[in-house]
Chains A and B, each alone.
Chain A
């Protein structure tokens, strides 16, 4: 499986009379893009705005950030399966991408109506909070979109994500016929047989148990989010967006999955430092001990059958999902596969362990800091000059810090605002360091 990735860096974005890319400058025909979005009768309102890196602007509510990618040669479409896109196996031919650009899905549609999960992410394009995320360095084309209020939650999710993908597709079409300034070839070619064989165990949350629906929206595998046994994915499938979708934490949205630095490094060093075997993707949040252990056993078995000497493990959630993740690590180690685990840490107040089940086999761990912004003592996000999206924000969990301590109310989004509840850097994007 061979994939050429053509990269078109974006250095400026403006609205104009036609949608085109010229030497790093992307011009967007706003009316034409919005007309395409509004063709879907499920869409009630849609607006398009641009947020620039470093600008005093806040985007709220943020459900997803998508990097525009288009399949130029070869089978299938980028971001396959989700919102009924075709499910042809991707990963061959040539794909073009707009780098340094995000299409932001700005909508108040919640994930599902079963309770417990809420949209809580907002993005700042400047200031201390913006600096913690990769998105403040992107040109963000924000689709502020709301669906027909009379629709069910799942159809609303479908409608607004499809709308965001429509925008991404329109922008990516601008570079379909152009010669990419940068091209990189990705394939798992033959390597020195003495190199260690390494697999990436990429655990992704399933909303099925929490929502009660096997088709609730989340990071999807060819469109599927339900609880399924572990998948083997060729890394080129990932590059073409086989794993994609909106998500409740900022570091596991479509853009961060597509640009996961750990994954890209594993791939780029194939043949030099190791033999990269590809990706085992494990759905998490199984709800019995037996199921969790079964998934761990099967994940390790699959890694062993692939010939793995080592495995790098990440996850994108919290709580009980840790069990199948850490037991996959245990099962790998017991089969002789060395593991390294990249994770944020849980709240260690009152002597609780920073990991839910600290098994002795999980003995090589890279911490990406605490997963709660309160534990991290992230300061309030300062007031901004402009808001893209909804002008008020409900403080769902109250705030333990600053001006809004104890608040459980609606606040003006322009701020100052407490940071979102979670900060879990799943794939090592961040640059936080610590002192002891």
Chain B
């Protein structure tokens, strides 16, 4: 039993093909957990949403490289 790892990445397909088990889709390479076009409050909430998705991801078992998409859940 090792330590579960969640990797937040804007280029998530690359993380998946190289074998990361829990990959969380980030925003952009320049701001993986944020969006500077949002107000500070909304930017914070957006970042927290991605981080919470990542925290939830490391609590579940996965059969292999799996994508967790915070953007999908927001729609």
Q: Give the residues in chain B near A305, CB-CB below 8 Å.
A: none
Q: Give the residues in chain A near B18, CB-CB below 8 Å.
A: 357
A209 adjacent to B17 (CB under 8 Å): no
- Does A282 count as interface, using CB distance less than 8 angstroms? no
- Does B13 count as interface, using CB distance less than 8 angstroms? yes
- Does B29 count as interface, using CB distance less than 8 angstroms? yes
Q: Give the residues in chain B near A289, CB-CB below 8 Å.
A: 10-14, 25
CB-based nearest B residue for A359: B17
Q: Give the residues in chain B near A212, CB-CB below 8 Å.
A: 30
| Distance in angstroms between the alpha carbons of A287 and B28 in the assembled complex | 5
A323 adjacent to B14 (CB under 8 Å): yes
- Does A288 count as interface, using CB distance less than 8 angstroms? yes
Q: Chain B: interface residue count, which band?
A: 10 to 19
- Does A248 count as interface, using CB distance less than 8 angstroms? no
- Over the window 45-75 of chain B, the binary record of Cβ atoms lying under 8 Å from chain A Cβ atoms (1 yes, 0 no) is 0000000000000000000000000000000
- Does A356 count as interface, using CB distance less than 8 angstroms? yes
B12 adjacent to A287 (CB under 8 Å): no
Min distance, Cβ A396 to any Cβ of chain B, angstroms: 22
| Distance in angstroms between the alpha carbons of A320 and B9 in the assembled complex | 12
| Distance in angstroms between the alpha carbons of A287 and B35 in the assembled complex | 13
- B positions within 8 Å CB-CB of A: 10-14, 17-18, 25, 27-30
Contact of B28 among A288, A293, A323, A356 (CB under 8 A): A288
- A positions within 8 Å CB-CB of B: 209, 212, 287-289, 292-293, 320, 323, 356-357, 359
Q: Give the residues in chain A near B11, CB-CB below 8 Å.
A: 288-289, 292, 320, 323
Q: 11 A-B contacts, Cβ less than 8 Å apart?
A: A288-B27, A289-B10, A289-B12, A289-B25, A292-B11, A293-B13, A320-B14, A320-B29, A323-B14, A356-B14, A357-B14
Q: Give the residues in chain B near A323, CB-CB below 8 Å.
A: 11, 13-14
B14 adjacent to A287 (CB under 8 Å): no
CB-based nearest B residue for A210: B30
| Distance in angstroms between the alpha carbons of A243 and B27 in the assembled complex | 31
Min distance, Cβ B23 to any Cβ of chain A, angstroms: 11
Q: Give the residues in chain B near A288, CB-CB below 8 Å.
A: 10-11, 27-29
Closest CB pairs A-B (n = 10) = A287-B29, A287-B28, A289-B13, A289-B11, A357-B14, A288-B28, A289-B12, A288-B10, A287-B30, A320-B11
| Distance in angstroms between the alpha carbons of A209 and B29 in the assembled complex | 9
| Distance in angstroms between the alpha carbons of A292 and B29 in the assembled complex | 12
CB-based nearest A residue for B26: A288
Q: Give the residues in chain B near A209, CB-CB below 8 Å.
A: 29-30
B17 adjacent to A357 (CB under 8 Å): yes
Min distance, Cβ B26 to any Cβ of chain A, angstroms: 9
Q: Give the residues in chain A near B25, CB-CB below 8 Å.
A: 289
Q: Give the residues in chain A near B14, CB-CB below 8 Å.
A: 289, 320, 323, 356-357
- Most B CB within 10 A of own CB, among A287, A293, A356: A287
Knowing that A209-B29, A323-B11 touch, tell me 18 more A-B residue pairs with CB under 8 angstroms.
A209-B30, A212-B30, A287-B29, A287-B30, A288-B10, A288-B11, A288-B29, A289-B10, A289-B11, A289-B13, A292-B11, A293-B13, A320-B11, A320-B14, A323-B13, A356-B14, A357-B17, A357-B18
Q: Give the residues in chain A near B29, CB-CB below 8 Å.
A: 209, 287-288, 320
| Distance in angstroms between the alpha carbons of A43 and B32 in the assembled complex | 40
CB-based nearest A residue for B16: A289
CB-based nearest A residue for B18: A357
Q: Give the residues in chain A near B27, CB-CB below 8 Å.
A: 288
CB-based nearest A residue for B10: A288
Min distance, Cβ B63 to any Cβ of chain A, angstroms: 22
Q: Give the residues in chain A near B12, CB-CB below 8 Å.
A: 289
Q: Give the residues in chain A near B17, CB-CB below 8 Å.
A: 357, 359
Q: Give the residues in chain B near A293, CB-CB below 8 Å.
A: 13
